[in-house]
């Protein structure tokens, strides 16, 4: 299967956007996942609902809200633009849109993983004199690694498939914001573009399956090292 330069550009851009969106979201997803799993505070159900809202909203809604907030004349984007920072019509905006849409999946996976950790393990570390931050990094975080890795791969895969928020926020510009889903959409709407669309669809499936396979393999190895898996059958 031979890819054209535009198709290669779409693949590379998709991986770049998904990687940056996932890595930049990771610390925030871990922090919020821990708060939702471990803390009780007024308004917690509302915070939980707001975080998961992108999962149930039409993707164009978060995309339009991002446009209002981070557009060059937006509430936040206006000030960023004066500092020379712009999310409009470039890959950084595509990464921001992908991060917003994948963030709930990451938080959900990490929260569930941390919620399954026995609090007595953390309590034992505290009674031995470990500070709260040391308990988090030496006990909570290592035990939550399988869920964190699963959340990262889920987020990465979601970023690869992001379409609605991206095209609403930053458009469909070749070499700048045209990721794989947008390239497939473009190819399917031009004469004789069926072959190109099919190639990109196959490539999307291969990349997504590879990411899921890698996630399962990595999770199994981490669980095995932590003693959380009796066998690998």
What tens digit of pLDDT does each residue of 143-180 get?
898 889 889 988 999 999 999 999 999 999 998 999 99
Distance CA 162, CA 28 (A): 20
Residues 6 or more apart in contact with residue 107 via CB below 8 angstroms? 29, 32, 33, 36, 51, 52, 151
Measuring CA to CA, which residue among 37, 100, 90 is closest to residue 66? 100
Catalogue all structural domains in the chain, each as residue range(s) with its CATH number.
Answer: 5-226 (1.10.3720.10)
**Secondary structure, 3-state, 10-29:** HHHHHHHHHHHHHHHHHHHH
How far is CA 41 from its chain centroid?
A: 26
Q: Which two tokens stand for residue 8?
A: 């290669």
pTM: 0.88
In which band, very low, low, confident or very high, does the pLDDT at 226 lie, cut at 50, 70 and 90?
A: low
Mean pLDDT, residues 186-204 taken together: 90
Mean pLDDT, residues 122-140 taken together: 89
Q: What is the largest CA-CA distance in the chain?
A: 70
């Amino acid at each position: 299967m031979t890819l054209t330069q535009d198709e290669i550009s779409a693949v590379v851009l998709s991986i770049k956007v998904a990687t940056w969106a996932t890595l930049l979201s990771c610390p925030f997803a871990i922090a919020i996942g821990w708060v939702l799993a471990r803390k009780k505070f007024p308004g917690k159900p509302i915070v939980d609902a707001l975080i998961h809202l992108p999962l149930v909203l039409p993707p164009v809604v978060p995309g339009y809200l991002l446009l209002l907030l981070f557009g060059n004349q937006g509430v936040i984007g206006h000030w960023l633009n004066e500092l020379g920072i712009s999310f409009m019509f470039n890959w950084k905006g595509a990464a921001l849109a992908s991060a917003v849409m994948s963030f709930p999946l990451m938080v959900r996976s990490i929260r569930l993983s941390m919620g399954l950790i026995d609090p007595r393990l953390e309590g034992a570390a505290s009674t031995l004199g470990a500070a709260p931050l040391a308990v988090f990094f030496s006990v909570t975080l290592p035990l939550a690694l399988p869920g964190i890795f699963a959340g990262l791969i889920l987020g990465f895969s979601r970023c690869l498939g992001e379409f609605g928020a991206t095209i609403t926020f930053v458009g469909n510009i070749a070499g700048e914001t045209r990721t794989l889903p947008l390239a497939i959409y473009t190819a399917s709407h031009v004469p004789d573009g069926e072959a190109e669309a099919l190639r990109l669809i196959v490539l999307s499936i291969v990349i997504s399956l590879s990411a899921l396979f890698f996630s399962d393999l990595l999770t199994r190895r981490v669980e095995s090292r932590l003693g959380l898996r009796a066998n690998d059958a």
